[in-house]
Amino acid sequence: MEKSISVGILGLGTVGSGVIQIIEGHQKELIHQVGCPITVEKVLVRDINKPRSVEIDEEKLTEKAEDVYANPEVDVVIEVMGGIKEAKEYIIQALQHKKNVVTANKDLMALHGAELLRLASENNCDLYYEASVAGGIPIIRTLVEGLSSDRITKMMGIVNGTTNFILTKMSKFGSSYDEVLKEAQELGFAESDPTSDVEGLDAARKMAILATLGFSMDIDLEDVVVRGITTVTTDDLHYCEQLGYTLKLIGIAERNEGRVEVSVQPTLLPNEHPLSAVNDEFNAVYVYGEAVGETMFYGPGAGSLPTATSIVSDLVTVMKNMRLGVTGRSITAPLHEKQLKTDEEIESKYFLRLHVADKAGTFSSITSLFAEHDISFEKLLQLPIEETELAEIIIITHQTTKKTYENIYKRLNELDVVQSVESSYRVEGGK
C-alpha cells in the first residue's frame, strides 16, 4: 500500500468533528477509492483543553494556524472554521505553501471565490467547495461535472434550511413567525442571531456561487436581489393555500440569450411543483438544461455528517488528482462576460394582498389600473373584513415585467380606495 495522504483541519466544531468521524470510520472505503490511507496530521482549535465530541490525540491539536497550513507533512488543508477574514488569510497561506484546499465556507467563496481560485490555479493546487452550498447535496459537482456538456438555463431552489423550517411550520400549524423562529433556535436550526438566514443573505451567497458555476459567469453577491421572510404572515400562507400555492424562500438564477437575473425572495409555487413538497430543514435545487431538461437534487441542507460527507467527497477528488499529478487543472476562468437583465427584461407573475374600501367603485378603480398596463388577473379573491368598512382583495396576476409591476405597486399605494398593500410576492410555475 502506498504512503498515506495527510490532512490538516482548520476548525473542530460540528462539521470538523464530522469530517474526522467519516475519515476514521470510513477508512476502508476511502482506501478502496484512492489506494492509500488518509491520516489527520494537525487540527486547529481555539482551546486545546476544551472537551470534544470526537476522540482525537491531543498531540494533533494546535492553537496556531501555521502548524496546519505551513506543516510540511500536510498535503490537504480542510477549512471548516467559518468566518471570512481569518479563513481567507489561512487559505491564501495554504495555497502559497502548495497545499490543496477543501472548504465549506459559502460566505468566503461568494465574496472572494474568484480571487482564491485564481491563486489556487497559479500554485497548481486544487480548491474545492462542494459543501458550501446545500450541505449533503452534490449540486456543485453536478454543475461542474455531471452537467458540464449541457447549457444551464435556470436554477431554482430552496437553499436555506432555517427559513424552510420556519415557513413549513407556519404553514402547517398556523403558528406566527416569532413563535416558529423561537422553536427553530431551540432545536438548533437557527442561530441566536438569525439575520443571515431569515433576511435571505445566506441563500443569496449560495445562489451567487451556483450562478457563477452554472452560467460560467462572474456573479457577485451584490448582483443578487435579496428579500427575506420576516414580513411573511400566517394570513399570506392561508391565502396561498386557498389559491393552490405554497410559499417558499426561493433562490432563482435564470439566463435568457446571455443575460441573467439572480434573486432570493419569498415565492409562490403551485402545490404540484416538486419544490412545494420540500419541507422542514431540507434543501432542494431544480436545474433546467437545454439538453437534459428538468432535474431536481434533494437532501439535507446542513448538519455535521451531511456537510462532512461533501467535504470528504471533495477530499477524495483532490487525492485522486494528486495521484494523477493534475492538481490545479480543473479550475477554469468564466467563459462569459457578466450581463445582468434589466427590470424590463425580468418577467414573472405576482401575488398581491390589499386592504381596500368596501364600497362601490373600488374594484373598478383597481382593475382599471391593471388594464392600463395590459395586465390581467389569473386568480382573484375578494372578502369583507369583519366589523370594518374594509375588504380584502387577493390577486395573482398574469405574466408581466418587474418594471411594470413596480409601477403598478407604487400607483396602488396612491389610490384613495386602497388603505394598504399588505403583501406582495413573486409567483413561479404554473401555466
Q: What is the mean pLDDT of residues 29-48?
A: 92
Rg (C-alpha) for the chain, rounded Å, is: 24
Q: What is the mean pLDDT of residues 394-399?
A: 96
- Which pLDDT value is given to residue 341? 97
Mean per-residue pLDDT of the chain = 92
For every residue of the chain, which 3-state class applies, written as one string?
Answer: CCCCEEEEEECCCHHHHHHHHHHHHCHHHHHHHHCCCEEEEEEECCCCCCCCCCCCCHHHEECCCHHHHCCCCCCEEEECCCCCHHHHHHHHHHHHCCCEEEECCHHHHHHHHHHHHHHHHHCCCCEECHHHCCCCCCHHHHHHHHCCCCCEEEEEEECCHHHHHHHHHHHHHCCCHHHHHHHHHHHCCCCCCCHHHHCCHHHHHHHHHHHHHHHCECCCHHHCEECCCCCCCHHHHHHHHHCCEEEEEEEEEEEECCEEEEEEEEEEEECCCHHHHCCCCEEEEEEEECCCEEEEEEEECCCHHHHHHHHHHHHHHHHHHHHHCCCCCCCCCCCECCCECCCCCCEEEEEEEEEEECCCCHHHHHHHHHHHCCCCEEEEEEEECCCCCEEEEEEEECCEEHHHHHHHHHHHHHCCCEEEEEEEEEECCCC
d(C-alpha 226, C-alpha 205), whole Å = 10
pLDDT at 304 over 80: no
- Is residue 430 very low, low, confident or very high in pLDDT (cuts 50, 70, 90)? low
- Which pLDDT value is given to residue 431? 59
pLDDT at 1 over 60: no
The label of the residue with cell 454543475 reads: 143
- Which pLDDT value is given to residue 398? 96
Strand-strand pairing, 225-226 and 259-270: parallel
pLDDT at 403 over 90: yes
| 256 HSE (CA, 13 A, CB side) | 7
Catalytic residue flag (residue 410): no
d(C-alpha 243, C-alpha 421), whole Å = 18
- Which pLDDT value is given to residue 2? 66
d(C-alpha 346, C-alpha 42), whole Å = 50
Of all residues in the chain, the percent with pLDDT exceeding 70 is 99
Higher per-residue pLDDT: 184 or 408: 408
* Structure confidence by residue, pLDDT tens digits, 108-157: 999 999 899 999 999 999 999 988 887 778 888 888 877 878 899 999 99
- Which pLDDT value is given to residue 238? 95
* Structure confidence by residue, pLDDT tens digits, 211-259: 999 999 999 999 999 999 999 999 999 999 999 999 999 999 999 999 9
Mean pLDDT is lowest, of 51-55, 362-366, 395-399, for: 51-55
Q: Report CA-CA distances (Å) from 247 to 86, 97, 427.
A: 37, 48, 9
* Structure confidence by residue, pLDDT tens digits, 58-116: 999 999 999 999 999 999 999 999 899 999 999 999 999 999 999 999 999 999 998 99
Q: Is the pTM of this model over 0.85?
A: yes
> Which among 88, 99, 154, 206 is annotated as catalytic?
206
| 86 HSE (CA, 13 A, CB side) | 12
- Is residue 302 very low, low, confident or very high in pLDDT (cuts 50, 70, 90)? low
Domains in the chain with CATH codes: 5-135+304-324 (3.40.50.720), 151-299 (3.30.360.10), 347-427 (3.30.70.260)
d(C-alpha 372, C-alpha 366), whole Å = 10
Q: What is the mean pLDDT of residues 365-375?
A: 94
d(C-alpha 247, C-alpha 116), whole Å = 36
- Which pLDDT value is given to residue 27? 92
